[in-house]
């Protein structure tokens, strides 16, 4: 097998690796140097699609150099920053392979794990998720991610440990269904699992970021969580409505109790501050409820506008990839 020559439009059995890139200039060469040998060893034709998500550093220049040097490299350059998941979507939209693997650009996901994901695809699974058993991230981040994972598992109805891990493999059919979804914000792993016939999760390694800092601070993570909550079900507002009903009933009971007490013991004057405390809790819950409803309204607004999920500024492609022998490209993926 020669070094990856890219995938032509009709390359069957091929593999597409999709990598979102946002200000990763110093990680890209090292990433490709580790990735290419791994892909070469799979013995399948492949392409590596880097999606430049509006990087402000020299990432695009580095990518262009990689593109010039390697036929397997394609670049989708978005016109501005749309966020990791939109970037992954852009890559999946342009991918030609039978199987697609997503991966972060900062070398936190070791490319050497890819063959293990592919083995699961060959075993018949249509979505294979990586599970970072030992995460090299700060504890606040790990805690928030744990909350998001529990939430997502409930919303999507597929229980997984790690929805945040982007080291994943998808069969083409699942990706086609994803492409059919036109909603604006789409958390790729959750959306894919809601379409998967046979999803599976395998433990994968996780390294510290090779260079630079994570693009996800606590605020961005909370926004992601809100997006997930409102993007995948109506459960949150329903829970809020039920809680509201419960609290109202408790209030009626409490009122009745105070009335009886007044008749038997006389009026109460103490406990004003306790009342404040209770009030704050309820006011807080009301604001949260309003916020949740606001999220839904905002979502409807975004959907009604029907803006595209991303806009491609430029595509760097070796004209459909080199022609490859069909025999090599038509290895079936599923044996099971």
Site for Mg ion, rule CB under 5 A: 104, 106, 108
Kindly tell me which of 140 and 243 has the beta carbon lying closer to ligand UDP.
Answer: 140
d(CA 190, CA 174): 12
d(CA 108, CA 313): 27
How many residues comprise the chain?
Answer: 336
Name the strand (E) or helix (H) holding 111.
none
Kindly tell me which of 3 and 207 has the beta carbon lying closer to ligand UDP.
Answer: 207
Kindly tell me which of 98 and 104 has the beta carbon lying closer to Mg ion.
Answer: 104
Closest separation between CB of residue 107 and Mg ion, Å?
Answer: 8
Closest separation between CB of residue 191 and Mg ion, Å?
Answer: 20
Q: Give the CA distances from residue 151 to residues 44, 115, 292, in Å, rounded to whole numbers and listed in that order.
A: 37, 30, 15
Closest residue by Cα to residue 39 from 10, 63, 71: 71
Closest separation between CB of residue 117 and ligand UDP, Å?
Answer: 17
Closest separation between CB of residue 162 and Mg ion, Å?
Answer: 13
Beta-strand pair 127-132/199-204: parallel
d(CA 264, CA 258): 10
Site for ligand UDP, rule CB under 6 A: 20-22, 24, 53, 81, 83-84, 87, 104-106, 108, 214-216
83 binds, among Mg ion, ligand UDP, none (CB under 5 to 8 A by kind): ligand UDP
Kindly tell me which of 187 and 333 has the beta carbon lying closer to ligand UDP.
Answer: 187
201 binds, among ligand UDP, Mg ion, none (CB under 5 to 8 A by kind): none
Kindly tell me which of 216 and 296 has the beta carbon lying closer to ligand UDP.
Answer: 216
27 binds, among Mg ion, ligand UDP, none (CB under 5 to 8 A by kind): none
Closest residue by Cα to residue 175 from 191, 164, 152: 191
153 binds, among Mg ion, ligand UDP, none (CB under 5 to 8 A by kind): none
Closest residue by Cα to residue 78 from 66, 93, 98: 93
Closest residue by Cα to residue 86 from 323, 302, 301, 318: 302
Closest separation between CB of residue 260 and ligand UDP, Å?
Answer: 56
Kindly tell me which of 29 and 268 has the beta carbon lying closer to ligand UDP.
Answer: 29
236 binds, among ligand UDP, Mg ion, none (CB under 5 to 8 A by kind): none
3-class DSSP string for 66-102: HHHHCCCEEEEEECCCCCHHHHHHHHHHHCCCCEEEE
Closest separation between CB of residue 84 and Mg ion, Å?
Answer: 9
């Amino acid at each position: 097998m020669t070094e990856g020559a890219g995938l032509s439009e009709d390359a069957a059995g091929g593999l597409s690796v999709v990598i979102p890139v946002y200000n990763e200039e110093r990680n890209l060469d090292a990433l490709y140097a580790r990735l290419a040998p791994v892909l070469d060893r799979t013995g399948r034709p492949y392409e590596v699609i880097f999606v430049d998500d509006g990087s402000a550093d020299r990432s695009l220049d580095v990518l262009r150099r990689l593109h010039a040097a390697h036929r397997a490299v394609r670049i989708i350059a978005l016109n501005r920053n749309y966020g990791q998941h939109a970037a992954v979507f852009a890559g999946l939209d342009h991918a030609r392979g039978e199987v697609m693997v997503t991966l972060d650009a900062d070398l936190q996901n070791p490319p050497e794990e890819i063959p293990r994901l592919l083995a699961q695809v060959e075993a018949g699974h249509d979505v294979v998720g990586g599970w970072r058993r030992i995460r090299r991230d700060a504890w606040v981040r790990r805690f928030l991610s744990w909350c998001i994972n529990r939430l997502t598992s409930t919303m999507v109805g597929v229980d997984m440990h790690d929805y945040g891990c982007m080291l994943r493999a998808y069969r083409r059919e699942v990706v086609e269904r994803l492409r059919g979804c036109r909603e604006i914000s789409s958390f790729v792993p959750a959306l894919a699992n809601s379409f998967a016939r046979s999803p599976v999760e395998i433990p994968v390694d996780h390294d510290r970021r090779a260079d630079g800092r994570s693009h996800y601070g606590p605020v961005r993570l909370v926004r992601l969580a809100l997006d997930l909550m409102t993007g995948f079900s109506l459960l949150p507002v329903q829970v809020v409505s039920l809680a509201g009903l419960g609290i109202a009933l408790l209030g009626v009971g409490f009122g009745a109790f105070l009335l009886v007490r007044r008749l038997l013991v006389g009026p109460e004057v103490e406990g004003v501050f306790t009342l404040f405390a209770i009030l704050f809790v309820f006011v807080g819950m009301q604001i949260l409820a309003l916020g949740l409803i606001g999220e839904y309204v905002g979502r409807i607004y975004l959907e009604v506008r029907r803006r595209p999920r991303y806009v491609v500024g430029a595509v760097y492609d070796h004209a459909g990839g080199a022609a490859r022998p069909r025999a090599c490209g038509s290895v079936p993926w599923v044996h099971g």
